[in-house]
Structure 1
Amino acid sequence: MTPRDAFGARRHARGGSGQAVIPKRPAGPRRRLGGGPLAIVLATGLMAFQDALIKLMSDGLPLWQFFALRSLLILPVLAIPVWRRGGMRAAVHPRTLTRSGLIVAMYVFFYGGMPVLDLPVISAVYYTGPVFIVILSSLLLRERVTPGQAGAVAVAFAGVVIVLRPGGETFSPAALIPLLSALCYALAAVATRGPLGRVDPWALTFSLNVVFVAAGGIGMTVTAAIGRPEAYPFLLSPWTALEAGVMSLLVFLAAISVAIHLLLARAYQLGPMPVVAGLDFSYLVFAVVWAALLFGTIPEGATVVGTVLVAAGGLWGILRRGH
């Protein structure tokens, strides 16, 4: 979300000619309230755990190699259901690949900050994505910004300022890296609006992992040519020999990634949408929990206050849609 993984799965049940979709199935109130919210909480908990593990790996495994190897493990698992659902054509459509490229860029910035930033800080800044979506939708799609949305943007922006503390002694320019990730997410959201919202999430996930493999290969080629791993090891190190433990962790992360995508697709299929979208922000809580358990990192008071404001702004925007 998180928005990173949920994107495109949120409207996938609308249907549409010429594209593979998951058929709509009626769900009673009890099933909707139990299924959707439970699935999104499980998904955000797994996502925060996944991101914490990647932060642990950032000292020993280059990002591009991680992208390529994890997605190579995932693609065979995804290929069979995508083929059976007739989604291969949608998966390699230029619009789908463009969306995938924007999301890969989003991941590069999100994970690129992990060696130098605490996970709660990265998460809080990243969740300004909805703020950028409101702004870009107004500028590029000419959508009207409601007073509720404007208030949500203001609250979330105040939260980010508190987390980043620009001009303060503790400010690091690296804190702007997840802000670029949020911007890429917003651009992808605007690009995805419309026809791609009806594409089967299996096809979207397959397309994303194809682009991850391509980006990983290009990244490893460029870093090998540059030859400056000391400048920023996580982004600029060439291919690294893998130990058995690292390879086992990669397989584990591949399995987690598939589970996350399926849970997110299920969550937004079952709904109810306002509840599920609001619970998406539970990622921020899980990020703090996993950071404390795995790194012993306790967020500072300003980070907690800023995170609460970012989440409040996002929830306000959800609850005040159309007002």
Structure 2
Amino acid sequence: MQDEAVKSGLAALYAVGGMAALGLTDNFVPYISERGSLWQFHFVRGIMAVAILAVLAGFGFGILRPQRVWAVAGRSLFQAGAMLIYFGCLAFLPIGVVVAGLFTSPLFVLMISALFQGKHVGRWRWGAVAVGFAGAVMVIRPNPNDLDLVAFLPLLAGVLYAIGAVATRAWCEGESTMVMTAGFFGMLAVMGGIGMLVLPGAEVTGTEGFVSRTWGPLDAAMWFWIAVQAVGSLVGIGLLVRGYQLGEAGHVAIFEYSLLIFASFWAWVLWGQTVSALGFVGMAMIAGAGAVIALRSEEPSPLRAPEATE
């Protein structure tokens, strides 16, 4: 019993540590968006991450050979698409709003499971979905007189990530964490490369041009911040994966919501971004809804590393 309690405590610490790393490194994106390109960022960061994983595999810390290439690629397509939207939104919206939108993913997982997989969902979890979406509206605070659809893009990221989470279990059983992590970053590199080739590359200065630019200066400062983001993402996901290896998935998933706190805290420290009282209430509602879904589901849906439960 004591060993189980120690494992649960360590799992929580690993999960919170992973979220702390991601909450900090995601706040470094404005250093990149000021002069860089969303597509360049994902292309370079994806190659860096896959290269790091290849070195680790070369030293015997895992394998990079998928059992089903199509399954890993399909799952990666949805989750990479979610992250493409997520990081693109960081140039235009407060990080608290963007993270909150992404954290609606478990709500969409539940809806997909019920509507398309025929799984039974009780009133507690349907109630959690309603509370979670009400919280998302409170965070986004859409103004009917000046409706900005960009504010709803984080919800689209949540939808894509939810589809990827469902695909992880439906298609990728038996695949290693390293394979799916490499597939995720590799797909982001491919998407970045396609964006650089297809888009016209409008030259807009400042963060407003982050999405429209196709290439930016790769000087020492840019290399540094992209490398920090790549390593920070791998460290954060790695800690989270370790947490899921040690603890009960439903309980560990709850600690992922600490990302809302860390991301908002560092956004305030680094950029002076603040969250309204109503926004904090909305975040709490999203986190509470996710916790209810995680605790009352046989297969809880962790957000940033669903492969960890395999």
Fold in common (TM above 0.5): yes
User: Structure 1 residues 275-284 or 231-240, which shifts more?
Assistant: 231-240
Correspondence 1:238 to 2:244: no
- Given the two structures, how large is their TM-score scaled by the length of structure 2? 0.88
**Compared CA separation, residues 93 and 142, structure 1 to 2 (3 A):** same
> How far did 1:137 drift?
0.9
Correspondence 1:314 to 2:290: yes
Sequence identity (%): 29
Q: Over aligned residues, Cα RMSD in angstroms?
A: 2.1
Distance 1:289 1:219 in 2: 32
Distance 1:68 1:268 in 2: 29
Q: What is the letter of the counterpart of residue 36 of structure 1?
A: A
**Compared CA separation, residues 55 and 92, structure 1 to 2 (3 A):** farther
Distance 2:202 2:262 in 1: 35
Match of 1:129 in 2: 105
User: Structure 1 residues 41-50 or 269-278, which shifts more?
Assistant: 269-278
- Given the two structures, how large is their TM-score scaled by the length of structure 1? 0.85
1, 9, 15: which one aligns with 1:40:
15
**Compared CA separation, residues 306 and 280, structure 1 to 2 (3 A):** same
> How far did 1:104 drift?
1.1
146, 150, 157: which one aligns with 1:181:
157
Distance 2:269 2:296 in 1: 35
**Compared CA separation, residues 82 and 147, structure 1 to 2 (3 A):** farther
36, 42, 49: which one aligns with 1:61:
36
Alignment of 1:55-204 (within 5 A): 55-82=30-57, 84=60, 87-90=63-66, 93-168=69-144, 172-204=148-180
**Compared CA separation, residues 91 and 100, structure 1 to 2 (3 A):** farther
Q: How many residues align?
A: 294
Distance 1:48 1:167 in 2: 28
**Which string of whole-angstrom CA distances, capped at 9 and with x for unpartnered residues, describes residues 69-114 of structure 1?**
1122222221144464773331771100111111110011111111
> How far did 1:203 drift?
1.0
Structure 1: which 4+ aligned runs deviate by more than 4 Å?
83-86, 168-171
Specify every segment of 5 or more residues in structure 2 that has no aligned partner in the other structure, as ranges. Answer: 299-310
**Which string of whole-angstrom CA distances, capped at 9 and with x for unpartnered residues, describes residues 124-154 of structure 1?**
1221111111111111111111112111101
Match of 1:49 in 2: 24
> How far did 1:169 drift?
5.5
**Compared CA separation, residues 219 and 79, structure 1 to 2 (3 A):** same
Alignment of 1:7-46 (within 5 A): 28-46=3-21
Distance 1:135 1:203 in 2: 28
Distance 2:66 2:111 in 1: 29
Distance 2:10 2:111 in 1: 32
Correspondence 1:213 to 2:213: no
SS of corresponding position for 1:235: coil
Q: What is the letter of the counterpart of residue 123 of structure 1?
A: V
Distance 2:230 2:182 in 1: 13
Match of 1:228 in 2: 202
Correspondence 1:259 to 2:240: no
Distance 1:170 1:297 in 2: 21
Specify every segment of 5 or more residues in structure 1 that has no aligned partner in the other structure, as ranges. Answer: 1-26
Match of 2:305 in 1: none
Correspondence 1:276 to 2:252: yes
